[in-house]
Structure 1
Amino acid sequence: MTTHKPNGGRVIPVNVRIGGTDEAHLRPVKRKRLSDYPGVARAHLETARLYANPFLLGPPICDELMALIQHMFTEEEASLVRRIKFPRGNTARDIAKTVHRPVEEVRPILRRLARDKRILPTFGKGKKKRFGLMPIVPGVFEAVLLRSSMDTLTPWHRRFAELFAALYDTGFLTEYAGNPIPAVRYVPVQQTIEHHSMALPSDRLEEVLDHYKDFAVGLCQCRMTEQIIDRDCGRPLENCVAFGDGVEGIVRSGRMRRVTKKDVLEIKAEAESMGLATFIAEIDTGKAASGASCSCCGCCCHALRTISEFNVPGLIAPPHFMPQVNLDECNYCGKCARACPMGALAVDSKNKLYQHLPERCIGCGLCAVACDRQKAIQMEATANYRKPPKSLGSILAQMGPNYLRNAWSVRRKQR
């Protein structure tokens, strides 16, 4: 067993012999029923059932979910939220009628949940505005913790992060990995571009950003959470980037600060130099009105941890490039393994053994950057690479069927 612990983060176990699932990292959810919580308000119980919906990628009813729901919503708030129909949502007037309260009382509560707590998404304007539901992750987690500074976190936000971490650590998302739904893809920046010489324009961050004029940066919600619970890796926080039409509103709300394209590239280059891999949505981003880019590590990022800790790939698009090692040039120093954010490389310096675990590899090329012998590792294009979809419709057509299959599979297990 070889272990890799990047920059003080959690150890990523790698089974050199088979590269399979390390069961020690899985802490199975202790499933319960609503009837197991006689002391919890009915409004909270019914709201927990809403968020346990497999079509919202929800966890099963469990202590961790119940604690999070009770923190997210007061009993009064939950009494309204439980009336929201997924996926269509409801207007404030619709909800007011179901709870037999004046809409003038209900609307401010729903607005607070949408504008202040950032828990509910909204659609439409004015009296026709609908309040909806989104998954706890990805969705509520990112919206609640999107910040420009740690100083803006209240005790409520910090407790939210703690309770979310406890829920995520159960590994409930692994239940949705039966069929891949690749939502994000890696793109090289600066140093790694040199090792991705065949990269397409859609593979290069700078060329993707050329399509946009507005940019903003905020704190990484994943590493922020790990810092709050004293489990972070110490890498930079301010490298979560937004670009396009959505920037104005995010900056106006104070959740991110405005920057230039040059600033973004410098921020991403610094992140890469610290061992972070750059990701964007699995779409030909230049075709979209707006987008976002994360700088991720395998020890804190929730998308990457599905691979690095739970050994369940599927949320990351298959890489365009994979490392190829010339063992005649390799001196088995292990620098490549230490640089890998996913624990996808295992090197035994004593016995001169090297192993690449493709099921963990995201194709970032940080191993090639770290290699002192420039010819020892080369990034080579993979066979059967598929370009990212060119529209939201294409994404839904590509991922929708597997999303539904996974949700139905989880629902059958919950019955």
Structure 2
Amino acid sequence: MAHNTIKGNYEKLTQRLNRFPQGVPPSETLFKILNVMFSEEEARLVSLLPIKPFTVEVAAKAWGQDLEKTAEQLNILASRALLLDLEDDEGTQTYVLPPPMAGFFEFSLMRTGGELDQKVLSELFHQYINVEDEFVTHLFGTGDTQLGRAFVNETILSEDNALHVLDYERASEVIKTASHIGVGMCYCRHKKEHIGEACDAPMDICMTFNNTARSLIKHGYARQITEEECLNLLDEAYKHNLVQFGENVQNSVNFICNCCSCCCEALVAARRVGATQAIHTTNFLPVIDFDNCNGCNKCIEVCPVDAMTLTSKHDPKYKRAKVALLDEEACLGCGVCARVCTKDGITLKSREKRVITPVDSTHKAVLMAIERGQLHNLIFDNQAHLNHRVMAAILGVILKLPPLKQALASEQFKSKYLVTLLKRYEQKSGEITTQH
């Protein structure tokens, strides 16, 4: 009976985590992971928390206890990076339950030491993420809007390329505009190290920014570094042919990972479910110069998603001559291939259709929720609290969506209020267009 009660609390926590658009498919391995990271009582308490930012008062009401005890428990959870403690523009202290990915799964291995058995946890993560395929398929293979996007390798941009790169598409600009910068241990390579499969790419190179960095620095999961130090780390990542994979938003990017193809879960997933399905690409594609390419194989070796292959050059004089061939449908547009080419055989061109990046985390969350049939979870997140500012932000995003996305939203929401808002917004937009 006690066993069923314990599992019941972790099942409740799993149900709460599945209110995130990305979610975590339940399995025995997942329950073991949660059992390592949360006590039974913590699992019960966290299962009652909203997925949107909340205050101590909101948590106290959800838990049915006083403010002092609630604040103490929230701070303990934040000290273990199971919650993030944030401060908004008005100086209000809030907390947020991050999703498992990108979130507290990674945070658990971003430093050494602590109370967790990281070897056991790494083995469980490997089983859940790399062996069992439901989580990866669900996380990276569902919907059109994904949690991450690739950044182009800035060292190989030509003057013409540079004219077509927007500021938010540059990893260097994310670094330069961040309010806080932290660096921690690479979760993927640290996990692989514990199971004896890590490569020799730099370990201390996982970048976090803004409020997320502030919280992780505060609790020792990242160390604070300067803009210059972070730019130097970016150069180090370029030298190791690592791919920059960051949060799929334009404003206030929270993370940029520097990924190797052998350890990075996002790149492994991209090869499994399809690169352009799992990760939002850059706005560039490589162009292979048929005459300059000598088929040396360097670009094939560094391509993180197997988008490059060799094919016959069909040269009557040199029948064994090979040339690189690009699969555009599989290409991330990271530009690593162009960096390693020593024959000026690869340049970059702009994609015919520009990739759309969500403006901010609210925009991204709404799009992901609509595509995954979970919009109601964002709007009616917790019976104990309805934050009207968050509600307004979500509805504000919906009002600006294309008609097809609005139709999906209204179908899921099934609210006369939303339908009326959409109609009024459409009428108002029509009036403005007529006036102009």
Separation in 2, partners of 1:103, 1:213: 30
Secondary structure of the 1:145 match is: coil
What residue number does 2:218 align with?
252
Separation in 2, partners of 1:325, 1:406: 43
Query: How does 1:137-216 map onto structure 2 within 5 Å?
Result: 137-147=101-111, 150=112, 152=113, 154-169=115-130, 170-171=132-133, 172-176=135-139, 177-194=141-158, 196-202=161-167, 203-212=169-178, 214-216=180-182
What residue number does 2:31 align with?
66
Supply the RMSD in Å over aligned alpha carbons: 3.4
- 1:244-293 Cα shifts (integer Å, max 9, x gaps): 455444333222222222221211111111110123323333xx3x6332
Query: How does 1:13-412 map onto structure 2 within 5 Å?
Result: 40-52=3-15, 54-56=18-20, 57-84=22-49, 91-97=58-64, 108-112=72-76, 114-121=77-84, 133-147=97-111, 150=112, 152=113, 154-169=115-130, 170-171=132-133, 172-176=135-139, 177-194=141-158, 196-202=161-167, 203-212=169-178, 214-244=180-210, 246-285=212-251, 288=252, 291-311=254-274, 313-348=276-311, 352=322, 354-374=324-344, 376-386=345-355, 388-404=357-373
CA contact (8 A) 2:151 2:245 kept: yes
Separation in 1, partners of 2:254, 2:84: 17
For residues 95 and 224 of structure 1, do their structure 2 counterparts lie closer, same or farther at Cα, with a shift above 3 Å needed? same
* Off by >6 Å, runs of 4+ in structure 1: 101-106, 128-131, 405-408
Letter of the aligned partner of 1:180 in structure 2?
Answer: D
Secondary structure of the 1:359 match is: helix
Q: CA deviation at 1:384?
A: 1.3
For residues 214 and 314 of structure 1, do their structure 2 counterparts lie closer, same or farther at Cα, with a shift above 3 Å needed? same
Separation in 2, partners of 1:214, 1:331: 45
- 1:81-102 Cα shifts (integer Å, max 9, x gaps): 34446568784533543xxx88
Q: CA deviation at 1:347?
A: 1.8
Question: What TM-score, normalized by structure 2, do the two folds share?
Answer: 0.70
Separation in 2, partners of 1:215, 1:69: 29
Q: CA deviation at 1:368?
A: 0.9
Separation in 2, partners of 1:396, 1:73: 25
Secondary structure of the 2:306 match is: coil
Secondary structure of the 2:310 match is: strand
Q: CA deviation at 1:364?
A: 0.9
Separation in 2, partners of 1:369, 1:400: 37
Separation in 1, partners of 2:230, 2:261: 22
Secondary structure of the 2:329 match is: coil
For residues 303 and 197 of structure 1, do their structure 2 counterparts lie closer, same or farther at Cα, with a shift above 3 Å needed? same
Letter of the aligned partner of 1:402 in structure 2?
Answer: E
Secondary structure of the 2:261 match is: coil
For residues 182 and 175 of structure 1, do their structure 2 counterparts lie closer, same or farther at Cα, with a shift above 3 Å needed? closer
- 1:277-313 Cα shifts (integer Å, max 9, x gaps): 123323333xx3x633221122222222211234364
Percent identity over paired residues: 23
Q: CA deviation at 1:358?
A: 2.7
- 1:209-242 Cα shifts (integer Å, max 9, x gaps): 3334643322221221111221222200122223
Q: CA deviation at 1:132?
A: 5.8
What residue number does 2:409 align with?
none
Letter of the aligned partner of 2:40 in structure 1?
Answer: E
Structure 1: where are the runs of 5+ without partners?
1-37, 409-415
Separation in 2, partners of 1:142, 1:314: 22
- RCO (CA 8 Å, sep 6+): is it higher in 1 or 2? 1
CA contact (8 A) 1:179 1:406 kept: no
CA contact (8 A) 1:240 1:293 kept: yes
CA contact (8 A) 1:186 1:319 kept: yes
Secondary structure of the 1:379 match is: strand
Separation in 2, partners of 1:215, 1:118: 17
Separation in 2, partners of 1:396, 1:109: 27
Letter of the aligned partner of 1:219 in structure 2?
Answer: M
Letter of the aligned partner of 1:191 in structure 2?
Answer: T
Letter of the aligned partner of 1:296 in structure 2?
Answer: C
Separation in 1, partners of 2:375, 2:197: 31
- 1:8-38 Cα shifts (integer Å, max 9, x gaps): xxxxxxxxxxxxxxxxxxxxxxxxxxxxxx7
Secondary structure of the 1:306 match is: helix
More helix by share: 2
What residue number does 2:405 align with?
none
CA contact (8 A) 1:47 1:81 kept: no
